[in-house]
Amino acid sequence: MTDSEQVKAALAALADDKARTSSQVETDARRADERPVASGSATDYRAVIERAVTATDDLDAAASFVKSVGLDGLERAVERAEREVSGLAEDGREALATFERFRVAAQGPVEE
């Protein structure tokens, strides 16, 4: 697979995350809640956000993050950071925006 094909595949995986049905989202949310990220709930949201921020630097890592944690998990972590008045909330919002840009890029050019 060429680099271009790998990038397209990674972007497609990110785009597919947004196309999931609500039952898939609920199932993934339960799995994410069961998945240990770190000990203690305060640490959990921090670990999720820090991992998301790191994942935005590499498409393969971003696709892996979306598959293992999901954007819903990142959104919950950002909400928790906001409740905790953590400086990581802004980092999490920026990571969410980056994942959204990846998703839009994966959809290709907009036809008018």
Q: Give me the pLDDT at residue 59, please.
A: 86
User: For residues 42 and 22, what is the distance between their CA atoms, to the nearest angstrom?
Assistant: 27
Query: Does pTM top 0.75 for this prediction?
Result: no
Provide the residue ranges of all domains of the chain, joining segments of one domain with +.
3-107
**pLDDT tens for each residue of 87-105:** 899 999 999 999 999 888 8
CA dihedral 77, 83, 85, 87 (to 10 degrees): 10
